[in-house]
Chain A
């Protein structure tokens, strides 16, 4: 049993801590007490029942520390707490809470443990070191890896249950009623005589009690909320335009700033002339920041205008200036020197390619920007040794410690207010914008500085999705796939991303082979090799991370061998599928789509793909039709195995969003570098899927597995290869690289 597994069990030990004015609940990790962060500044008549529940005379607040970037994370976390706490969703307020070790993401640690698979010697020898490093990084309060639900599924319900039972004890004490005859409903303890004591009236008493521990969780048959469609908590505000995202926040007397950065991320400022900018209306100051200049003005608009007036000389990009060199670096990495891992090596691949019936191909996946609708922003106030930060972030603890370093204060002196995020897709796993805002704020102490990136700066200075290349060899015999050898080369996402947090993980990068090495197909001779290319342009986690490229290559390769073998892409996948859960997903989409082969009719094509990523087997079928205006994507069917669906409506929306995201980028998007800078700067040349291009998407969540899983990322990897398969079926055009609009027109 891995270390991570043991830690995951211990996480749920709950203890109490005496504090002035009451008692609160802390979660222990590593058998070490972690202070309940809600105790700071808690009024005397309030109770902080576990780090997830705060009750005072004004109401019930559920703490939802995983960032909400549109995926419904606050809603789902609140529902899990509310399920056991017996409050109605409309009775509560949600609050992302402060950064705290109490909110460590333990599911990410489990995800890290999955790297410890037997296999390649290199992987084995370094795996423990890798896990420790990943734990150190991922064990922090972080939103990512589709872990919000798996992390919170037990933990948040346990928090709700502990708080509920403690409130019942308070009610027994206050009323003299028999504890065993008390029940709870809609935010109140119901006494045997039917009287309801609202939780808010019990908070002060509860705060004096020992916490109820080891409360059994309710069986699924008693769930009121889980598994049923709910009104999402943020929906009214979003639909009426009243929800404030990070970019909407204002602080009294704040000034606005933007940054002028070099043409390439990391290119240094050599010289500049800001005289014209400084004479522009509304401009207040031009100050140095890491990577360029900060422009402070009365409004964001004034800052943007002034930034355009600065003449600056920049050093060349610290990576190859032309795209061709990036591809060449990847092509050069298919050597033993660059070999990073070989986590799959079944049968005898070398032997398998001696006979006839072998094919080979090369695939490319480009850089991609995260391009969320809300550009990056942060507000920072540095004042008398205290720092306050308002920003949308997936890594509040890193923000806290990095801001503390820049401001030369202790982490405890940095308050981070997490904001709603208007789309992220991994973009806000980085905190460059907060660091720059802090640098500017340090030069203007006492004044809140709101730094906003322009869309163009945001896209050009994104830390992109990794570019990747794959080489495939396949063999078939008697209409069946017999051998599949896939080699993938890409720079290390983890090294680039963690490098910016000063963490250097040892061992191979599992993301190079993610979505490829552990796929549930029992091909007799089967090898997957990861090659680590040198670092090129800076890269970061992009929705589904390594699986976004690995799942693409794997399914493209499998499709080509199946086609060469003359087999049906779905039936051959089913025949090869060695995992019952993945098989059920494939069978499910086949049934949903009434699969009758890739060519149901003239000019209509269907493609299928399955990717096992983030613990979720996700099968997709995409249908395209040839029209006089180009290819129209008409249908998509998706079946994903997640153990338990928390909210079917939110689930369906998240899956549909993932499909649209995967298809849209496959169709239209790439970031290319020319002269050391990203060519694409805005949505006009980095186009998402448009409304009229969106297919009907039919979603089914399967609940056969025991483990609950997250669904933010798994729908993404199969979308692009399923579309490629459909295009091949409809047109005969075999697409081996993104974006597909280089080869076909979409209606």
Chain B
């Protein structure tokens, strides 16, 4: 497990995933929507959504290894900064380390300081069309084009961890490369959303 995680991290650090966007006119709307559905599976998956909790200042514990869906234990609060209460940032437990801490009761670690996604990136419990519109809205996606979203995925190591979280934790669906590819396809199809 450690080896796998280290490899992923190493790859991520030394060679950010190259992103090559497909030409827009080669993908039709149906393919784009199908790609979006896979993107939605990823964004709504507990591994990702647990930290995209919107205005709540509390990350969630949900997913197959957590039992009942509930807010992160120990009354964890991310605060306005989203990095944790100022006196106890997330990285107090989710420390910077190349050792994954795979035991089920242990705070997972990865080479990036943990924090919650900004409130406008609210994924937890949201339906497909809401997340879809949010992701194509530069006002709410950090001012990114879809291409930049894909690049962001290539750079951000904590996102890579979602596909190899260690221990018995369930990984996000598909793979990082497939997810990036799906974003490309969705972009090439003109970022269609189910409610368009």
List chain A positions with a Cβ less than 8 A from chain B: 629, 681-685, 687, 690-693, 741, 745
Contact = CB atoms under 8 A, between A and B. Distances in A.
Contacts of A629: 71
A683 B75 contact: no
B71 A687 contact: no
A331 B13 CA distance: 59
Nearest to B106: A684
Contacts of B71: 629
B73 A690 contact: yes
B67 A685 contact: yes
Interface string B132-152: 000000000000000000000
B70 A682 contact: no
B105 A687 contact: no
B73 A687 contact: yes
A601 B71 CA distance: 27
Interface in B64-111: 67-68, 70-71, 73-75, 103-105
B73 A682 contact: no
Interface in B18-57: none
Interface on chain B toward A: helix, strand, loop, or mixed SS? Answer: loop
Contact of A741 (B68, B74, B75): B68
B74 A682 contact: no
Given A685-B67, A745-B70, A690 B104 contact: no
Contacts of B105: 681-685
20 contacts: A629-B71, A681-B104, A681-B105, A682-B103, A682-B104, A682-B105, A683-B105, A684-B73, A684-B104, A684-B105, A685-B67, A685-B104, A687-B73, A690-B74, A690-B75, A691-B75, A692-B74, A692-B75, A693-B75, A741-B68
A692 B85 CA distance: 14
Contacts of B75: 690-693
Contacts of B104: 681-682, 684-685
B82 to A, nearest CB: 18
Contacts of B103: 682
Interface size class of chain B, counting residues whose CB lies under 8 Å from the partner chain: 10 to 19
A691 B67 CA distance: 22
A678 B105 CA distance: 16
A667 to B, nearest CB: 12
4 A-B pairs with the lowest CB-CB distances in the bound complex, closest first: A684-B105, A692-B75, A682-B105, A690-B74
B133 to A, nearest CB: 27
From A683, A684, A691, A692, residue with most partner B Cβ within 10 Å:
A684
A690 B73 CA distance: 8
Contacts of A683: 105
Contacts of A681: 104-105
Nearest to A629: B71
A396 to B, nearest CB: 33
Contacts of A693: 75
Contacts of A745: 70
A682 B70 CA distance: 18
Contacts of A684: 73, 104-105
Nearest to A741: B68
A629 B73 CA distance: 13
A692 B74 CA distance: 7
Nearest to A683: B105
A684 B73 CA distance: 9
Contacts of A741: 68
Nearest to A682: B105
A692 B104 CA distance: 23
A397 B68 CA distance: 44
Given A629-B71, A690-B73, A690-B74, 19 more contacts: A681-B105, A682-B103, A682-B104, A682-B105, A683-B105, A684-B73, A684-B104, A684-B105, A685-B67, A685-B104, A685-B105, A687-B73, A690-B75, A691-B75, A692-B74, A692-B75, A693-B75, A741-B68, A745-B70
A745 B70 CA distance: 8
Contacts of A685: 67, 104-105
A629 B67 CA distance: 18
Contacts of A690: 73-75
Contacts of B67: 685
Interface in B145-191: none
A685 B104 CA distance: 9
A745 B103 CA distance: 26
Nearest to A692: B75
A151 B108 CA distance: 49
A691 B76 CA distance: 12
A448 to B, nearest CB: 29
A745 B73 CA distance: 12
Contacts of A691: 75
A152 B70 CA distance: 47
A693 B70 CA distance: 14
A627 to B, nearest CB: 12
A266 to B, nearest CB: 25
B150 to A, nearest CB: 35
Contacts of B68: 741
A49 B183 CA distance: 84
A691 B74 CA distance: 8
B168 to A, nearest CB: 11
Nearest to A745: B70
A741 B73 CA distance: 13
Contacts of B70: 745
Nearest to A684: B105
A682 B67 CA distance: 14
A307 to B, nearest CB: 14
Nearest to A687: B73
A690 B104 CA distance: 19
Contacts of A692: 74-75
A684 B67 CA distance: 10
Nearest to A742: B68
A675 to B, nearest CB: 15
B109 to A, nearest CB: 16
A741 B71 CA distance: 13
Nearest to A455: B105
A662 B75 CA distance: 20
A649 B64 CA distance: 44
B53 to A, nearest CB: 13
Nearest to B77: A692
Nearest to B105: A684
A687 B72 CA distance: 13
A685 B74 CA distance: 13
A684 B70 CA distance: 13
A741 B74 CA distance: 15
A680 B160 CA distance: 29
Contacts of B74: 690, 692
A745 B68 CA distance: 10
A741 B104 CA distance: 20
Nearest to B75: A692
A532 B71 CA distance: 40
